[in-house]
Amino acid sequence: MADNIKYTEDNIVSLDWKEHIRLRPGMYIGKLGNGASADDGIYILLKEILDNSVDEYVMGNGKKIDVSVKNNKVTVRDYGRGIPLGKVVECVSQINTGGKYDSQAFKKSVGLNGVGTKAVNALSEYFIVKSIREGKSKQAEFRKGEIIKNGEIVSCDENQGTITEFIPDSGIFSDYTFREEYIVDMLWNYAFLNSGLKLKYNNETIYSQNGLLDLLSKKVDEKNIKYPIIYLKGEDIEVALTQSSQYGDDYYSFVNGQFTTQGGTHLNAFREAIVKTIRDFYNKNFDSRDIHSGMIGAISVRIEEPIFESQTKTKLGSNNISPDGPTLRSFIGNFISKELDNYLHSHDETAKAILDKIKNAEKERKEIAGIRNLAKKSEKIANLHNKKLRDCRIHYNMSNADPGSKEKTIIFITEGDSASGSITKARDVQTQAVFSLRGKPLNTYGMTKKIVYQNEEFNLLHHALNIEDGLENLRYNKVVIATDADVDGMHIRLLLLTFFLQYFPELVTHNHLFILETPLFRVRDKQQTFYCYSEEEKQKAINILKGKAEITRFKGLGEISPDEFGGFIGENIRLKPVTLKSVTQVEELLSYYMGKNTPMRQEFIISNLKVELNNFEQPNSKTNGSKPGEKPINKEVLVQTSIEEFNY
């Protein structure tokens, strides 16, 4: 067979820069996606442009950046120095061309490889760049990386800076939509990491004066933390940390203003340094799991020539802070050892609170250790993979797997044999797993982790996910709740969300939890079939078929045949992300919806099942949550379709 395949000069193909980017976009911006996930490619395009503008601010040029996203057209306007006018076209269309190779001009920049803006250009159906510099300007326009207009240098009275506009190519990013909450979250991160920078987004000003202290204040509820946020800042390093009553830990790490969502060497060094410093301070060899229990921390470092594990820069691989400088481990370790130790010596109440938290975590860990050991030895755990769990072949925590395949790994959490059977038959066995619940899960609100470990369903579930000791060994990139779109299905969603938010909130804060959308209706005639996810889509399909249609209402997932299901969990899968953003009263929300029941609350939930939470009022705590009260809910609290999404 191999002898019949010719290999000649004709097989050798040379691609120009834009052709290579368009042929292999994943190499440059990671996964494509439709905008449902925060790390989808359309947000990477925005980030690449923003990185350049923020780097200008870091170098002391321009204190404001304007950002607009309307009808999928993105506009970024900074007030920096502007691209040198004679090199505008080259800087956005020639690989390995840019000012950041000059280490004096951009000493601690993120975008060092000269690829980012070119990737945006090549992957956009419309791209314009305009530079204003020293009273003159130059503009160039492109289509899919091909220049269509190369303007002359002309006189200009606009403020100095660079303006970039682009529309992502719908041929590459199919059916995409920018989610405002992801954009706002990205801009807030830029603000936290660049104190004093003003970012204006669609007329909203995003600004931080206190850096990571502001970031952590936004991420936690002050009523739920054990001690005031510890904030430490030095040259090229900034950290903030505290502890809450939640289980697990949660960390946010940054390098040169880049949010490294998958951590890296700097986060590992930070976590190690916290453990060592606390052990030394108390002169006790505490278990690291007890030290990290409930901890919420953030670290930002600035280093020279950072090395990331991919073009999307989500994980740092550098071992040193500069080519000839100390290791990151020693740099971060020395800083934490000195500054955190000094802080604890001068803040007795915080030191006592940390010690109490560690002792409580140690006590609970030992209480549940026996339960975990017994469970792992039990026949139920031994039979997990061939009963409750239909596993896939590739896992998110596999070190030797292709990164693209790892990103695609999904576990569907279903209820009932018919639903799990349909998904199991339709799934991709390489990257998609199915976990089958038996009946409605336990309402875990207010329960200790010990009791939850004694619950068979949840014990098997977090064992399958491998998240008992944090996200480091998470086996699937996406954890997808797949339940029927009826009252019972909504209730199961709430029970699962309550479980994850109470015991594994980092699964949500790091964008791993989703809701599967499946069609409610099938509308067809003899020639065409439409699957509709809403009444509006159903009516549109009926109109297309001119009323001569057979309409099927899917009451449950089990009613959808495996052949049909394959189209809903493949490339065209629709997922609603469960997101946590800024501070809100999640504890109060869970208490009201999942706490002690009342008939009034039942009526309230059912009557508003399909109403977004910001359209009605929050229960008044003075009436024990028995009826809607006078206090309007915070507009940042949005729980769509019966609390499918938590935004805070």
**230-281, pLDDT tens digit by residue?**
999 999 999 999 998 777 788 999 998 888 888 889 999 999 999 999 999 9
Are 247 and 332 a contacting pair, CB within 8 Å?
no
Residue labelled with tokens 């370790």: 333
Q: Give the three-state DSSP class for 329.
A: helix
Residues 626-639: pLDDT tens digits? 333 333 333 333 33
The domain 372-518+577-643 is classified under which CATH number: 3.40.50.11030, 3.40.50.670, 3.80.30.20, 3.40.190.100? 3.40.50.670
Are 344 and 358 a contacting pair, CB within 8 Å?
no
Amino acid at site 236:
D
Q: Is 536 exposed, middle or buried (CB count within 10 Å of its CB: 0-12, 13-18, 19+)?
A: exposed
Q: What is the pLDDT of residue 10?
A: 59
Residues 6 or more apart whose Cβ sits within 8 Å of residue 443 = 495, 498, 594
Are 127 and 166 a contacting pair, CB within 8 Å?
yes
What residue ranges of the chain are covered by domains with CATH 3.40.50.670?
A: 372-518+577-643
CATH 3.20.20.70 applies to domain 18-207 = no
Q: What is the pLDDT of residue 620?
A: 41
Are 448 and 364 a contacting pair, CB within 8 Å?
yes
What residue ranges of the chain are covered by domains with CATH 3.30.230.10?
A: 212-358
Cross-strand partners of 482? 414
Residues 6 or more apart whose Cβ sits within 8 Å of residue 624 = 598
Are 213 and 577 a contacting pair, CB within 8 Å?
no
Tokens of residue 288, six digits? 């690291």
Amino acid at site 322:
S
The domain 212-358 is classified under which CATH number: 2.20.25.10, 3.40.50.970, 3.20.20.70, 3.30.230.10? 3.30.230.10
Q: How far is CA 203 from CA 65, 67, 500, in A?
A: 12, 9, 35
Residues 139-178: pLDDT tens digits? 999 999 999 999 999 999 899 999 999 999 998 988 899 9
Residues 418-464: pLDDT tens digits? 778 888 888 999 999 999 988 788 888 888 877 777 788 888 888 88
> Which H or E element spans position 513?
strand 513-517
Tokens of residue 458, six digits? 């949840």
pTM over the 0.85 mark: no
What residue ranges of the chain are covered by domains with CATH 3.30.565.10?
A: 18-207
Residue labelled with tokens 């029927």: 484
Residues 6 or more apart whose Cβ sits within 8 Å of residue 105 = 59, 99
Residues of the chain with pLDDT under 50: 1, 101, 103-105, 112-113, 583, 609-648
Nearest-5° angle of CA 20, CA 24, CA 29?
110
Q: Is 313 exposed, middle or buried (CB count within 10 Å of its CB: 0-12, 13-18, 19+)?
A: buried
Q: What is the pLDDT of residue 472?
A: 79
Q: What is the pLDDT of residue 619?
A: 41
C-alpha 31: how far from chain center: 13
Are 636 and 582 a contacting pair, CB within 8 Å?
yes
Q: What is the pLDDT of residue 641?
A: 32
